[in-house]
Structure 1
Amino acid sequence: MPATLHAATIADAAPEAAGPPRASSSAGWIGALARTARIDAQPQRIFPLVLDEVAQAQGDAPALIGTEETLSHRDFAGRRNRYARWALARGLAKGDTVALLMRNGPDYLAIWLGLSRVGICVALLNTNLRERGLAHCIAVAAPRLLIAGTELAEAWQGALPHLDALPEVVWQGRDATAPLAAAAAAFRDAPLGPDEAPAVTLRDPALLIYTSGTTGLPKAARVSHHRVMMWTHWFAGLIEPTPQDRMYDCLPLYHSVGGVVAPGSVLLGGGSVVIREKFSASRFWADVASSGATLFQYIGELCRYLTLAPPDPAEYAHSLRLCTGNGMRPEVWEAFQARFAVPRILEFYAATEGTLSLYNVEGKVGAVGRVPPFMARRSPALIVRHDAQTGLPARDAAGRCIPAAFGEAGELLGRLSDRAEYTFEGYTSAQESARKILRDVCAPGDAWMRTGDLMRRDAQGFFYFVDRIGDTFRWKGENVATTEVAEALHRVEGVREANVYGVPVPGAEGRAGMAALAVGPDFDLAQLHAALARRLPPYARPLFLRLSDELGHTETFKQKKAALAEEGFDPARTDDPLYLDHDGAYRRIDAALYAELAAGTLRL
C-alpha cells in the first residue's frame, strides 16, 4: 500500500505538469500528493472522522450497495456510531483487539470502522481459512472478542480444537435479529461526543491484516490509522472519485485492497461502493452494468477470466471509466482493454506491511509502476542484486548491497526512516518483523525493508515484476506459503513426505501449487482430496500431484524444488504418475490431458 512523499514535492512536479503529457500522468501524481500533504498536521483526524464529514455533506446519497441492503452515507455513519457505543458499553477499551470473521457486506465495513473509531484494533480474518490455519490467525491476534457471521459457524467449530485460549464470540447474521445487530440497535446513531470516546491518533493501531509473506503460516501485519489515511487519500488522488462514481468491489474485505483502498478511496469523494461477496465471471458484466459502476478494483486473475469468457451482451453496456489493481499481465491487459473498451487501466504494486508502493499512472502495458523524475530523490525504492545461493541480496567487498543495473532482476527494497510513511509497523511477531529488515544496505546503520519480490527497472524508470523470492508463490491472487500446504499434506494418512512448489500453467496468472508426495501403501487419492478441501482454502490446494517412492534431497538434506518445478506436470519428463485436480477429484495426466493444459484450453 502507498508510501507518500512530502508536500514540497508538489512544487517539484510543476515542470512536468506544465508540459503536454498524457492526461493520466502528472495530474494523477499531483492529485495524490495534494490529498496526502496535510494528513500529519492533524494527528487526531482519523479515517472514521473523515467519513463523518462526508456523511454530513452527502446525507441520503448511497454509500454502500450490497446484495441485501443499501446504506446511505447518513445510515452508514449512524451504524458505525452504534457499533462504537456498543463496544464501549461492553467494556472494550482503546488498545483492545477484536477479531472479525464475516463475509463481504456493508455491515463488515461499519463494524471495523465503528470499533476503530474508539481505539479498538480489528483483526480481519480470512474467511477461507479452516482448522489450524484459522486458529493460528486468531491466536496471534489474541483478541478479547470474536465477531463472527452465523454462516461461518462451522469454520469456527473447526478451529476450536486448535486454540489454547478461547475469545468470547458474538454472532452477527444477515438480519436485525442477530445478537450483535439487536444489541447495537439499542444505541444512539448520533456522532460521538468528545466525552464519549477516547482520544485516538494516527499512530494508534487500527487493523491487523494477514499476509502469508515468504514462509510459514499467515502473519498479522499491523496497520495504523496513519496507514489507513495514507492508503485511502493517496488512491483518491489517483482515481479522482466524485459523488457520481460507484466502485465495483468483489475482492475480499479482509484484504487491504478490497477492504480499505477500494471502498475508502471512493467514499472519500462522496461516491458509493457496490459490494459483492465474490467474483463471478458469468454475472460480472450484467452486475456491473445494472449497478451503474464506474470503477472496478481488480486482481489480474479476474481480468484474465473475463477475457477467456464467452461474449456477453452486457459487456458492451457498462459505464466503467477506470479499472485499478495489480497483477495484470501484458497479454491480459491488452486483450482486456481492447475487448471491453475500458478507457484507463491503473496498475500498482504494494504490500500490506510494505513501506513503498509503485503506480503506473501512465498506463504503460506490463509495468507495475514508475518513479517519475520529480520524485526520484525522495523515492524509497531500490533494486539490489540477488544471490540465488543464499536467498539474500548480494554484498560487495565493503559489505554493501549492490544496486541492480537497468534491466537486471534484483530484490526490491524499501527505505525505512522515522517518518510515518517510511516506518515499518511490523507484525505481531517481533521475530517475523526482524526478518523483514535489512541493515547496512547503502551506508552503515541504514535500514531497508525486504519485499521478497524480484523486480527489474528500465531506463525510463518503469518497474516490472519478475518473481517471488523463497517458497511462496502466487495463485488466484493470493500468496501461498508452501510450508502451510506441506503441513496439511503431512497430516493425511499415507503421506510420508511432501515437497510443495509452484509451477507455471499456460494461459494462467501466477504459479499453481504442485506437490511431490512420497506415499505409503495406505495412501488414498480420494481421502487426500477430501482432507485438503477441509483444511485449506481453494487457492492453496495443490492443483497438481506427483507421486514418488522417494523424494530427492541435497547433500545437506534439503528438499530439491528447482528440478521438480522445472519438470512440472509433463508426463514425458518423468515416469512418476501425475494428477490434476479437476471436476472435484484428482485425475491422471496422460498425453492428451497434458496437451490440453499446454494449449491453455482446459478450464481450471
Structure 2
Amino acid sequence: MYILFTAVAGLALLALSLLRTLWPHLGEDCAYILATLKLGFRLFKYKSCTPFYSVLDRFLDAVKKHPGKVFVHFEGRQYTYGDMDKQSNKVARALQAEARLKEGDAVALFLANEPSYMWTWLGLAKLGCPTALLNFNIRSKSLLHCFSCCGAKVIIASQELQGALEEVLPTLREQGIRVYLMADSCSVQGIEPLSDKIARASDLPLPRDLRANVGIRSTALYIYTSGTTGTPGTADQDVLLRRV
C-alpha cells in the first residue's frame, strides 16, 4: 500500500512538472478563466434585474447606507456621499429647468479634474443623459471633433476653460449648441453661467421615471482614449461605454 501511494505521488509530481514545462502559465490562465466566468455571472444577474440596476443605483444605495461617509478628499476638503447626492440633485434640476434636458440627450463635459466633475456626471445620470468626457487639454479643431462625435447639443465647461470655449464659440453657435459655464456670471454672449442656477436649485431627490428606459444597452459615457488626437482618420479609437 505504501509503495502504491509513493508511486501515485511520484506520478502526480511528474505530471505537475510536465504541466509546468508545457504550460508555464496554466495557473494564471485558470485564474483568469474563473474571474471571467464570475464577471459573466454578475453581468447576467444585473441584466436580469428589473428595473435595471446601474452604477448610479449602486451609488444611491451607498448614499442610503452611509450618507455621512467621506466619498472624496480633494485639496484639503472632504465630500460625503450625502454631499455628492444632494449636489448632483441640484445640478440635475438646474439643467432640467435651464437646458430642458430629457432622457437620452447627450451632454459634453469640458471640466477640470475637480469634485464638480463627479456630481455633474451623477446629476446627468439621474436625468438619463449619456455624457461625453472631453479632455480639458484639447483645443480648436480637436475639441470640435471630439464634441461632434457624441452628438451632444449641450456643453458644460469649467470657468478656467472659458478661453478655449471662446475659440470655438462661433462654430458651436452655428450648430445650435447651448454652452454653459461653471460660473456665477459671464459677459460673453452665447455662454450662459450655470453655477448660480445650481445654487438656487432644490436638492430633493429626482424620480426614477426620468431614466425609466435606461437599460444595459443604453449609452452611459463617451470616453476618449488618452491617445486620441481629435482628428478623423487616426489610429486611436474613441470608446463608447455601455451601462454595465
TM-score by length of 1: 0.30
**For 1:95-494, what aligned pairs fall within 5 Å after superposition?**
95-160=104-169, 164-173=174-183, 177=184, 179-195=193-209, 198-211=212-225, 212=228, 215-216=233-234, 220-226=238-244
The equivalent of 1:29 in structure 2 is 35
The equivalent of 1:94 in structure 2 is 103
**For 1:54-73, what aligned pairs fall within 5 Å after superposition?**
54-67=62-75, 69-73=77-81
**Which consecutive residues of structure 2, in runs of 5 or more, have no partner in the other structure?**
1-26, 186-192
Q: 1:87 to 1:138 in 2, by over 3 A?
A: same
Q: 1:166 to 1:83 in 2, by over 3 A?
A: same
Counterparts of 1:30 and 1:142, CA distance in 2: 33
Q: 1:73 to 1:204 in 2, by over 3 A?
A: same
1:193 is aligned with what amino acid? P
How far does the alpha carbon of each residue in 1:450-478 deviate from its partner, in whole angstroms, 9 at most, with x for none?
xxxxxxxxxxxxxxxxxxxxxxxxxxxxx
Q: 1:95 to 1:30 in 2, by over 3 A?
A: closer
Counterparts of 2:88 and 2:106, CA distance in 1: 17
Asked if the contact 2:128–2:210 (Cα under 8 Å) also holds between the matched residues in 1, the reply is no
Question: How far is the alpha carbon of 1:29 from its aligned partner?
Answer: 2.5
Percent identity, please.
27
Counterparts of 1:86 and 1:198, CA distance in 2: 20
How far does the alpha carbon of each residue in 1:502-531 deviate from its partner, in whole angstroms, 9 at most, with x for none?
xxxxxxxxxxxxxxxxxxxxxxxxxxxxxx
Q: 1:144 to 1:154 in 2, by over 3 A?
A: same
Query: What count of residue pairs does the alignment treat as equivalent?
Result: 200
1:77 is aligned with what amino acid? D
Asked if the contact 2:126–2:208 (Cα under 8 Å) also holds between the matched residues in 1, the reply is no
How far does the alpha carbon of each residue in 1:277-303 deviate from its partner, in whole angstroms, 9 at most, with x for none?
xxxxxxxxxxxxxxxxxxxxxxxxxxx
The equivalent of 1:48 in structure 2 is 56
1:44 is aligned with what amino acid? F
Asked if the contact 1:122–1:206 (Cα under 8 Å) also holds between the matched residues in 2, the reply is yes
Q: 1:35 to 1:58 in 2, by over 3 A?
A: farther
Specify the SS of the correspondent of 2:108: strand
C-alpha RMSD of the superposition: 3.0
Question: How far is the alpha carbon of 1:37 from its aligned partner?
Answer: 4.9
Specify the SS of the correspondent of 1:185: helix
Question: How far is the alpha carbon of 1:218 from its aligned partner?
Answer: 6.4
Question: How far is the alpha carbon of 1:137 from its aligned partner?
Answer: 1.3
Asked if the contact 2:103–2:210 (Cα under 8 Å) also holds between the matched residues in 1, the reply is no
Counterparts of 1:134 and 1:198, CA distance in 2: 32
Counterparts of 2:205 and 2:112, CA distance in 1: 27
Higher relative contact order (CA 8 A, sep 6+): 2
Q: 1:118 to 1:217 in 2, by over 3 A?
A: farther
Q: By percentage of residues, which structure has more helix?
A: 2
How far does the alpha carbon of each residue in 1:227-258 deviate from its partner, in whole angstroms, 9 at most, with x for none?
xxxxxxxxxxxxxxxxxxxxxxxxxxxxxxxx
Asked if the contact 1:131–1:162 (Cα under 8 Å) also holds between the matched residues in 2, the reply is no
Aligned mate of 1:81, from 79, 83, 89:
89
Counterparts of 1:183 and 1:98, CA distance in 2: 17
